[in-house]
Amino acid sequence: QVLNILEDMKARYGLTLLFISHDLSVVKNVSDRIIVMYLGKVCEIGNADELYEHPRHPYTRALLASIPEPAPTVDVSEGDIEGELPSPIHPPAGCRFNTRCQHATDICFTDEPVMQQVGDSDHYLACHHPVEVSVSVGER
């Protein structure tokens, strides 16, 4: 009910809202654009539909896989993030998700990934090894 009130106020008064949550199913319904952060660093940015349908960062995919009705473009097994959460005060060198990422290689432990545009879309990503989105996964 609170989300409906916020959505009405946003439309009526032309407001911009900053909505913070780990639940991307709720975020998608109230947001035009989504920014995914891990340990204080932005790892993926995009409009809600694009990010939900074509998530490229392993952490974004894990968040989407962990919702009760996961996005059709992710495998539910991607929601199992193994390893211990690093200290936010002393984050790991390189990519902050490297200690828990199944795609991590040596570069992930030394070089922080730079935010880059995905194609010519309004989708941005900071990852050395972005996940290729397969159409066949979405057709499950």
Which residues is 34 bridged to in the sheet? 46
Interacting residues of 38 by C-beta distance below 8 A, sequence separation 6+: 59, 96, 97
What is the reported pLDDT for 137? 38
What is the reported pLDDT for 129? 95
Going 99 to 90 to 115 to 22, the CA torsion angle's sign is: positive
What is the reported pLDDT for 136? 37
Q: Is the pLDDT of residue 14 over 70?
A: yes
Closest CA to 51 of 78, 25, 75: 25
pLDDT digits (tens, 9 = 90+) for 85-99: 999 999 999 999 999
Which residues is 45 bridged to in the sheet? 35, 124
What is the reported pLDDT for 73? 67
pLDDT digits (tens, 9 = 90+) for 113-138: 999 999 888 999 999 999 886 543 33
Which residues is 41 bridged to in the sheet? 38
What is the reported pLDDT for 72? 66
Return the domain boundaries, the chain.
Answer: 2-85+114-138
Distance (Å, whole) CA 72 – CA 95: 27
Percentage with pLDDT > 70 across the chain: 91
Which residues is 124 bridged to in the sheet? 45, 117
Closest CA to 82 of 105, 59, 112: 59
Q: Is the pLDDT of residue 57 over 60?
A: yes
Model pTM?
0.84
